[in-house]
Amino acid sequence: MAISWHDYPAEPHFDELIGPGGVPREGARAVARHLEQLGSQELAVRQKAAEAAVKGMGITFTVYHEAGGSIDRSWPLDVIPRVIDAKEWRGIEAGLRQRAMALNKFIDDIYHDQRIVRDGIFPLEYLADSVNFRKQCVGISPPLGVWAHVCGSDLVRGGDGTMYVLEDNLRVPSGVSYMLENRQVIKRVFPELFEENTILPVDDYPSQLYDMLRAIAPPGVERPEVVVLTPGIYNSAYFEHAYLAQQMGCELVEGRDLAVDEEDFVFMRTIDGWSKVDVIYRRIDDLFLDPEAFRADSTLGVPGLMRAWRAGKVALANAPGAGVADDKLVYTFVPAMIKYYLGEEAILPNVPSFLCADPKQREYVLANLANLVVKPTNESGGYGMLMGPKSTEAERKEFAGLVRGNPRNYIAQPVVQISTTPTLIDDHLEPRHVDLRPFILSGADVQVTTGGLTRVAMRKGSLVVNSSQGGGSKDTWIVDGTS
């Protein structure tokens, strides 16, 4: 069946591919025309091919089973790409770079002089209550002054077409391997589109990551040994840990493979004996990193690792304590931070937010729960939220209690009418809501992935894009229409 964009129900949301009147947007014209010509039956064939490729390449993610075990599932990928015009992307990229620089300056400041607090921009009491502030990190100066080496920021486009930052993930953000693998699959499925269009490549990421990791090695180490530290196969992002290690040509280690000696050097256990490690790309949360410094019951970590890091004998990416800025309350201060540290206006706006910690704003939130999204400040993955418009009276009552009991722990935002993009549902295209997670690498310089991982809520009307809750993904194309 042929596709006609005039019949595609893009309204009432902002659609990424199709503008008002069924006219494709800037940068998307060639793609839209091509999809039209292919028709929906052929698209369904390509979807099957993509699913077979995902299975064959072993691209999986782990879902925890209720029974206690975990299962490996094939990664869900919708073949219809999400397209962004290169001109627009350059602006977004600049905004993300600016943001990562300000966030790193903030973290470094917080663990040193706290100028931003003394200058009255960021209130001290918010810091005191932060669950991700690590007193063990105070006074430490990691190489290059960088703490959040890898940042994954979630972007959503509102009904007016504006791209907003929804949150910044500065602890152990995941998803980049799927961005890379999605591209591999889609290249196989739509080779003709890649020939005809200038779709900017994404595959530099593993080498950029590796270069960044080498750049943060302790001074004086000429050929640093870089490893990826994973919690193990039961972690939902294990596929990614193994993938990145393999792509960078590094060892994938677990905590039990490492040990710290009395001179604070870190070693990994190999069949030739113990071998020194200089840089650790860790994908284990702070609190599990080192039972000597944090949770004593952690079996995932390495006793003495914090000692080695503090002594400057090993580099950790991301640095412990970087999560202090990965907090939705701190998030509301990012535009102010950009101004304070960089003297610039924020290029990418935040979603307008209300701080429940502030009595006046709290009263507004409590009076308008039915129209707001209430989020805990320290959760990720969409857990523990209240979606006001879809909530019941009982849920709102429960949340009012939660907010009053611990106001520091909540912020509220108006519901963003997030944008949609055409998605293959059975044998035809329907609009589905999408977000975008680009990744920002900070080392000697700051680099942004070309596009990022687009996640899509596969259920009609749903805004939940998490793969653990029925979300899918798309390849993200930054299309240069000028060449």
Partner 1 sequence: MLSRVADNLYWLARYLERAENLARLVEVNASLMLDLPKELAPGWQPLITITGAQDLFNERARDTSERAVVRFVVADEKNPGSMVASLACAREIARTIRDILPREVWEQVNELHLYVNEHAAEAISKRTRHAFLRHVTRGVQTITGMLEGIVNEGPALWFMAIGRSIERADMTSRFVDVRAVGMLPVHGSPLRPFATIQWMSVLRSLSAYHMYRLKTRQRVYPAGVVSFLLADDDFPRACVCSLRRAEEVLARLPNSARLLRRLSRVRRAISRTRFETLSPEALHGFIDRLQRALARTDDDVARTYFRGELTLARRGATQAQSAG
- Binding region for partner 1 (CB under 8 A): 58, 72, 232-233, 242, 245-246, 251-254, 256-257, 259, 261-263, 265, 267-274, 276
CA 301 – CA 67 distance, rounded (Å): 26
The CA-CA-CA angle for residues 344, 346, 351, to 5°, reads 160
Strand partners for 315: 279
CA-to-CA separations, 450 to 91, 93, 194, 343, in angstroms, rounded = 12, 8, 15, 26
Mutual angle of helices 205-215 and 238-248, in 10-degree steps: 80
Q: Which of 117, 103, 97, 151 shows the shortest CA–CA distance to 324?
A: 103
CA-to-CA separations, 54 to 311, 379, 419, 422, 473, in angstroms, rounded = 44, 30, 26, 21, 12
Query: What sections of 111-252 are H helices per DSSP?
Result: 115-118, 124-128, 176-189, 191-196, 205-215, 238-248
CA 352 – CA 416 distance, rounded (Å): 10
Q: Which of 322, 331, 309, 314 shows the shortest CA–CA distance to 277?
A: 314
CB 109 within 8 A of CB 340: no
Locate 105 and state its tokens: 């300056």
Cα 446 from chain centroid?
A: 16
Strand partners for 24: 18
CB 409 within 8 A of CB 365: no
Helix (H, G, I), strand (E, B) or coil at 104: helix
Strand partners for 448: 440
Tell how strand 315-317 and strand 279-282 pair up.
Answer: parallel
Locate 138 and state its tokens: 């105070």
